[in-house]
A and B are shown apart, each in its own frame.
Chain A
Amino acid sequence: MQTKTKWQYLKQDIKDSRMSYVMLAPYFILFFIFTVLPVAASVVISFTDFNMLEAPNFVGWKNYIKLMLDDDVFKKALKNTLVFAVITGPLSYIMCFLFAWVINEFKGKLRAFLTLIFYAPSIAGNAFMVWSIIISGDRYGYLNGILMKWGFIYEPIQWMQTEKYVLPMLIVVQLWLSLGTGFLTFIAGLQTVDKSLFEAGAMDGIKNRWQELWYITLPSMKPQLMFGAVMQITQSFAVADISINLAGNPSVNYSGATIVTHLMDYGSGTRYEMGYACAIATILFALMVGTNQIIQRVLRRVGE
C-alpha cells in the first residue's frame, strides 16, 4: 500500500514537472546518444574481438590481459601519459592559478591585454603548429638557429627524431597550450571574491599577499578551483594532438606515444581492432575519472 502511494506521488511529480522535462529534452537526448551510450558501448565492446567487418565474439578479459602483459607500446604510452599527468597536470594548474591571480592585480586595459596574451595560445586553433617551425630539425628551425648562433651546438639537433628530446619538448608545448578553460575560470572567479573580506582579514592580522591568498582568496573560490582541476587533469591525460602533429604517429621508438595516440593507432588507424582499442579507452576512462575523484577529495581541504 505504502509503495503504491509513493509511486503515485512520483507519477504526480513527473506529471507536474513536464515543463522541466521539455526544457531538458534537447540537451539530454543528445547527451545520451553521444556521451552515455558511447561510454557503455565502449565497455561492452572491450570484451569482444570486434573489427568492424565480422560479427563480434565475446572474448572475456583477453583484450585487457594482452594489453597489460604483451603490449610493450602500451606500457610506454601509459608511462608517457602518467608523466604528462604528473608534470603538466599540476604544473599547468598552478600556472593557471598564479597567472590569473597576478593578472587580477593589474587594471583595465592592461589586464584585458595580459589575459589575451596568456589565453591566446589555447584559443588560436592549432597555433601549436608554429612549434614545428621552432623545433624543426634543420638549421632554419628557430631553436637550432639560436643555439648554433650562440655556439652551444655546432650541428642542428633533430629534436623530434631524437628519443630523449621528444617528451620534454612535448611537455613544453603542452604547458604553453594549457592556459585554457581553467585559466579563464580563475580570472572570473577572482573577480567574484568579496573585497570586504580582505579588509577584515587585514584587521585579523594578515600581513602579506601570500597569507591573503591562502586564508581568503583560495577558500572563497573553491568551486572554480575544483572545476579548474578537473579541466587541467582531463586535458593532460588526453594529450594526443600535439604528439601526433609534432612528433608523428608512431613517433621515434614510440617516445611520444600516449594512451590516446595508442588508441587512435588501433581504432582509427589501419588496424581496426575495435575490441582492443575499446579496452584501451576503458582503461583511460577509469584513469581519468579515478584521478579526478581523488583530486576533488584533496581540494576540499584547501584553506583549512
Chain B
Amino acid sequence: MNEMSGKTKTKEQQGKTYTVALKKNNRRFFFFKKKEKQLNRSMAGNTIMFVIMAICGVFMALPLVMILNNAFKPLDELFRFPPQIFVRNPSVDNFGDLYVLMSTSWVPFTRYLLNTLIITGFGTVGHVLCASLAAYPLAKHKFPGKKILFQMVVLSLMFSYSVTSIPNYMIISWLGINNTYLAVILPAFAYGLGLYLMKQFMEQLPDSLIESARLDGAGEFRIFFGIVMPNVKPAWLTLAIFQFQSMWANTGSGFLRSEQLKPLQYSLYQIVGGGPARQGAGAVVQLIIAAIPITFFIICQSNIIETMTTSGMKD
C-alpha cells in the first residue's frame, strides 16, 4: 500500500515538473500568456504589439494620471511654468480648501454627493431589474408581438438620447415629475442597451434548465430570480457597469433645477467655473468624480472574470 501511494506521488510530481518545464520553454515573451502552445505568434510580432500598446496606454492613462496628481498639487505647482505632470511636494491642502468652500455654500457638498448616489443607485438597480425581467420572456417565451417589441428596442440603440431630448422634456413636465429625482431615474429604467444585452445572454441558457424547474412546479418569477438571474451574473454585472457609468455622468441638466437636487457633476462645473483660485478644489472634485466609478468597475470586473471562469455556461 505504502509503496503504491509513494509511487503515485512521485509520478504526480514528475508530471508537475514536466508541465512546469513545458510552460517555461513555451514562454516566448515575458508579459504574454504562458500558453501550453502559442499558435501563430512570433517573437517580433509580440514585441511590436507590446510597444504599440505601451505608447497607446500612456496616451490613455496620462490625463487620468494628471487628475490624480493635480489633486495633491499645492497651488504654486498648479501654476508652474513649464507645467509638470507629477507632483513634487504632495499636500492635502486642496482637500481642505474644498471642505471650506463647500461648507460655506448653502448646499453642502455631501448633499451633491447624496444626490448623485441616489440617482446612480436607483437608476442602475432599477434598470438592471426592469431590463432583465423583460429580457427573460423575450429570450425564452413564445408570445404574440415578441419580434416587433425586440425590433423596436434594437432600433432604439441606433440613435442617441439627445434626439428625443425636447419631447422628453415635455413628457416629463406633463407627468409632473419635473424637478424630482424621478425625472432622471425613470427614463433610465427603460434604456435599450440593457434589454438587448440581457436577451442575448439569456438566449444562451439551455432550455432544459428552465423546463425542469417548470416541471418541479416553480412559477415564472421563481424561475427568473432563482435560476435565470444567478446563471447570467456576468451579464448583469456588465450591464451594471454600463448603467452606473451613464447614470454617474448624468448632470440632470434641464430636469433638476432645485439646487438641493443637483448632482456632483454639476458642482464640479460650478467650482471649476469659479476662476483660477478654485483650481485646487476643482482638481479634488475631479478626482472624486473619476475615482468612484473606476472603483465600481474594478469590483465588478473581478466578479465578472470569476463567474465567467467558474460558471462554464455552455449549451
Contact = CB atoms under 8 A, between A and B. Distances in A.
Interface of A: 10, 13-14, 16-17, 19-21, 23-24, 26-28, 30-31, 33-39, 41-42, 45, 99, 102-103, 105-107, 110, 112, 114-134, 139-142, 145-146, 148-149, 176, 179-181, 184, 188, 191, 198-199, 201-202, 206-209, 211-212, 223, 227, 230-231, 234-235, 237-238, 240, 260, 263-264, 267-268, 274, 277-278, 281, 284-285, 288-289, 292-293
A218 to B, nearest CB: 14
B102 to A, nearest CB: 18
Contacts of A145: 81-83
Contacts of A207: 40
What is the predominant secondary structure among interface residues of chain B facing chain A?
A: helix
> Which of B196, B290, B308 is most buried by chain A, counting CB atoms within 10 A of its CB?
B290
B298 A105 contact: no
Contact of A288 (B53, B60, B85, B158): B158
B41 A209 contact: yes
Contacts of B142: 17
Given A124-B67, A235-B160, 6 more contacts: A17-B142, A19-B137, A30-B186, A234-B158, A281-B162, A288-B158
> Which of B31, B49, B144 is most buried by chain A, counting CB atoms within 10 A of its CB?
B144
Given A27-B130, A123-B245, A227-B196, A281 B164 contact: yes
B163 A106 contact: no
15 contacts: A17-B137, A23-B133, A27-B133, A35-B192, A37-B171, A99-B56, A103-B53, A106-B33, A120-B61, A124-B67, A126-B249, A132-B272, A140-B78, A212-B39, A277-B166
B152 interface: yes
B143 interface: yes
Contact of A140 (B39, B53, B81, B164): B81
Of the four ranges (under 10, 10 to 19, 20 to 34, 35 or more), the interface on chain B belongs to: 35 or more
Contact of A240 (B46, B61, B141, B162): B162
Nearest to A18: B143
A191 B253 CA distance: 39
Given A127-B63, A127-B290, A149 B169 contact: no
A146 B82 contact: yes
Contact of A107 (B34, B144, B192, B301): B34
Contacts of B63: 121, 127-128, 130-131, 134, 176
B60 A38 contact: no
A39 B155 CA distance: 11
Contacts of B41: 105, 209
B55 to A, nearest CB: 12
A288 B70 CA distance: 38
Contacts, number: 280
B166 to A, nearest CB: 5
B65 to A, nearest CB: 10
A234 B157 CA distance: 8
Contact of A112 (B57, B82, B305): B305
Contacts of B171: 33-34, 37-38, 41
Given A107-B34, A141-B83, A234-B158, A115 B67 contact: no
B60 A14 contact: no
B62 to A, nearest CB: 9
A202 B38 CA distance: 11
A27 B190 contact: yes
Contacts of A132: 272
A148 B56 CA distance: 24
B17 interface: no
B157 A230 contact: yes
B114 interface: no
A199 B40 CA distance: 10
B190 A30 contact: yes
